[in-house]
Chains A and B, each alone.
Chain A
């Protein structure tokens, strides 16, 4: 096997994502432990630790927000919200997308044709409208965001899987397995899907960037994750109000979010190049 050079952007992106996950998981509790004073426990994300809009330094490395809460902890909690929404939505969309895509490629025509036409329709429909409608019905919040983004995310996966499965199903190894009498479900899970994990992983990373972007857009608009739970989008929206005097409070969430989106795209592109060197 030829040893390939690792794409430097892929390495940078992966490192950033690993650090981000650690930051999201351990950040708030580590900060709480640091900030604990004379035995009193404090919620580093929700409790004020200093006067409002304090400058970076001292016990708040990035300063505090408009009601004196620690910005580092809130960024970590925002990462937690974004990653949570992203992972749940992507898992659901993979599950539904693989099921629909496989059916679209392997089921009899009276099932597959209407199913894929429906998928195409959902794919063409602007995601934001459907998401806004769903949130308009069930009201703003974390759960409605997950529902809305899951419903809009699966069609792209289904189309990808359908295309891939359709091109794999006539290959010799599948035909051979079929000839031995393997049932269709076994065929898909044991023989076809293992060929797709690489490309699905790569595409999921790029879709994950889209989901995180959509979550923060909705939170920025005030109809996503609701206060007092922080989200990068709502932090950006709040910080706009005082950006004349405290521009740094706007910069932190903007930079964190943008770097995350860049990192996910780097990782997605890098993985795709690894999986499919021709493409």
Chain B
């Protein structure tokens, strides 16, 4: 028998990549159609009401707007792949790629901190909850996580600001413009608000997965063999229970996305989310399009990475794919 495993593994990875590419294609198509459906004339918006027909015709030609739409779509995708998203319709007509370069690192940094906080606290609380299942600590953690899932983040943000930034001056009310990015005085509240919902979701999921794992035979065997309680929980149970949680960390990037729009607006943080909302109120389609495209691509990319990491963590998934 020839060894088919590497071939099959390669096929499994290719299928994942293909799905990722299809999702990207879908997002680019949706954003492209959105621009095409935009009411009003882009050239008039850019050149101004008083521009002559001749100037407008030339601009339309330069921007490729006189081409049929399949040609425009291909140009749109290839430009975007090269980092060219056109120019903002508003203000100084700043290139959109510059706007992205300024805002993406801020949002990505916040999201990374929030997801780190959410996964570490979520996995810890969920494990604790499962170990003390149906006892007082479990009930406390569960009510806490129900609150975290249900309470909207735009309610949580002002309430926390009121308590900890207005009544007590522990943290800043809004972001510092000077860019003290790693100062907990500015960072703590936004990251907590952003992490609240993912933390609660991951807590619930870890608990459910751990409760199920702790009832398995191999746990009883480990206990019977005399493995210490912490050893059983961390080495035997958590390692097996963590897999659905890793998948959920991937999907919770979606929750984080929604959160970043709210948190950046609430704390006046100059990130991608705030920029998107501002562009929408200004009707700045080029910026809206690029922001949505980049955020969507990041979401697809991160989920793809999680999908590819999962088989490394779990031989069972590796086997089932191969």
Do residues B292 and A133 form an inter-chain contact, with CB atoms below 8 A? yes
Interface centre among A121, A220, A236, A247 (most CB of B within 10 A): A220
Using known A-B contacts A243-B166, A250-B162, A262-B150, determine if residue A222 contacts B258 with beta carbons closer than 8 Å.
Answer: no
User: What distance in Å separates the Cβ of B56 from its nearest Cβ neighbour in chain A?
Assistant: 22
User: What distance in Å separates the Cβ of A144 from its nearest Cβ neighbour in chain B?
Assistant: 10
A56 to B26, CA, bound (A): 52
* Binding-face segment, A25-33, A93-101, A123-131: A123-131
Residues of B within 8 A of A135 (CB): 280
A163 to B38, CA, bound (A): 37
User: What distance in Å separates the Cβ of A39 from its nearest Cβ neighbour in chain B?
Assistant: 41
User: What distance in Å separates the Cβ of B283 from its nearest Cβ neighbour in chain A?
Assistant: 7
Q: Does residue A140 face the partner (Cβ distance < 8 Å to B)?
A: yes
Instruction: Indicate which residue in B31, B151, B258 contacts A133 across the interface (CB closer than 8 Å).
Output: B31
Instruction: Indicate which residue in B158, B279, B296 contacts A243 across the interface (CB closer than 8 Å).
Output: B158
Q: Does residue A258 face the partner (Cβ distance < 8 Å to B)?
A: yes
Q: Does residue B237 face the partner (Cβ distance < 8 Å to A)?
A: no
Do residues B279 and A136 form an inter-chain contact, with CB atoms below 8 A? yes
Instruction: Indicate which residue in B37, B39, B150, B261 contacts A258 across the interface (CB closer than 8 Å).
Output: B150
Do residues B162 and A243 form an inter-chain contact, with CB atoms below 8 A? yes
Do residues A121 and B155 form an inter-chain contact, with CB atoms below 8 A? no
Q: Does residue B206 face the partner (Cβ distance < 8 Å to A)?
A: no
Question: Which 10 pairs between the two chains have the least Cβ-Cβ distance?
Answer: A136-B288, A126-B254, A128-B258, A220-B154, A254-B155, A136-B280, A137-B34, A240-B158, A133-B34, A133-B292
29 A-B pairs with C-beta separation under 8 A: A126-B257, A126-B296, A129-B295, A129-B299, A132-B280, A132-B292, A133-B288, A133-B292, A136-B280, A136-B285, A137-B38, A138-B39, A139-B283, A140-B280, A217-B152, A217-B154, A217-B261, A222-B277, A223-B277, A233-B154, A240-B266, A243-B158, A243-B162, A254-B158, A254-B159, A258-B151, A261-B151, A261-B152, A265-B150
Hey, which bits of chain B sit against chain A, CB under 8 A? 23, 26-27, 30-31, 34, 37-39, 150-152, 154-155, 158-159, 161-162, 166, 254, 257-258, 261-262, 265-266, 276-277, 279-281, 283, 285, 288-289, 292, 295-296, 299
